[in-house]
Amino acid sequence: MIKFEQVSKTYPGGQRALSKVDFHIEKGEMAFLTGHSGAGKSTLLKLISIMERPTVGRVLINGHDLNTIRRRDIAFIRRDIGMIFQSHQLLMDKSVFDNVALPLIIEGYTRKETTKRVEAALEMVGLSDKSRSLPITLSGGEQQRVGIARAVVNKPPLLLADEPTGNLDPKLSMEIVRLFEDFNQAGVSVFIATHDLGLIARMRYRTLTLKQGKMITDGLTDSDLEAD
């Protein structure tokens, strides 16, 4: 599903964010990406969503080389990737319903279909009763769930999450991760970047660890990760 081939990224100014990263996440797999701040997690996710382009190497999604994607096609690529952000990225002056409906309106769904899908997505994240509220009136955990509902509302085959549990307490974090597990069970590939090692330790999922731009471990969680 996601394949990195000898990917390096150097930002203008010489800052080396990733060097020769190689990995492959299979279709329907759920994996975590971890590492300290500045290890290159965000850069790696940005290469998948084409917010940045690799300096060297290839990033492939479902066998398609992202280097060959033209600028004007990027929008269509992003419709296939559900993205979840630490900062939620919600429209604060629009209702929860309108926020979740945004990807569907962009894709030109009918009003009826939009309503149906948005309600289903809000149901999944347990916010059915908040659809008319403004995001500003919701708690951090609820806002994050609105972001998740928006990411899954058009049923993308791939979910990317950047620090989705960043500001949440362990209990809420666990609820969010359970949500991702549900989507994963429905066949969606899920890739989560987090520095919340405690969260990862409680589960047994494949974990990729970055350190100073290099991939240092790739495999199941083990105890030495927590020591790192």
Partner 1 sequence: MSILFKGRRSGASDTNISLLQTLVMVLVSHVRQALHSLGELWRQPAASIMTIGVLGLSITLPSTLYIMVKNTEKISAGWEQASEISLFLKTDTSPASAQQLLTRLSTWSEIDSLTYVPADDALKEFQHLSGLGDAIAYLESNPLPDVILVRPTEKFAGPKAAESLLQKLKQQREVDIGKLDIEWLERLYAVLDIVRDLVTLIGGLLFIAVVLIIGNTIRLNILNKRDEIIIMKLVGATDAFIHRPFLYTGFWYGLLGGVIAWMAVILILWWMDSSIQAFAALYQKDFAITGLSGSALLTMLALSVGLGLAGSMISVQRHVKEIEPK
Interface positions with partner 1 (CB under 8 A): 49, 51, 61-62, 64, 69, 72-73, 75-80, 83, 85, 89-91, 102-111, 113, 150, 154, 157
Work out whether strand 30-34 and strand 56-61 pair parallel, antiparallel, or are unpaired.
Answer: unpaired
Two structure tokens written together for 85:
């952000």
Contacts made by residues 111-119, CB under 8 angstroms, sequence distance 24+? 117/153, 117/154, 118/149, 118/153
State in angstroms the smallest separation of the CB of 44 from partner 1. 15
Two structure tokens written together for 31:
């994996």
Closer by beta carbon to partner 1, 68 or else 223: 68
CB 177, CB 194: distance < 8 Å = no
Report the candidate in 187, 218, 169, 160 with the shortest Cα–Cα distance to residue 44.
160
Closer by beta carbon to partner 1, 40 or else 200: 40
Q: What angle do CA 7, 8, 13 make, to 5 degrees?
A: 155
State in angstroms the smallest separation of the CB of 204 from partner 1. 28
CB 25, CB 189: distance < 8 Å = yes
State in angstroms the smallest separation of the CB of 105 from partner 1. 8
State in angstroms the smallest separation of the CB of 49 from partner 1. 8
Q: What values do phi and psi take at 147, rounded to 5?
A: -60, -40
Closer by beta carbon to partner 1, 58 or else 78: 78
Q: Which residue has the tokens 């998740």?
A: 148
State in angstroms the smallest separation of the CB of 148 from partner 1. 13
State in angstroms the smallest separation of the CB of 66 from partner 1. 9
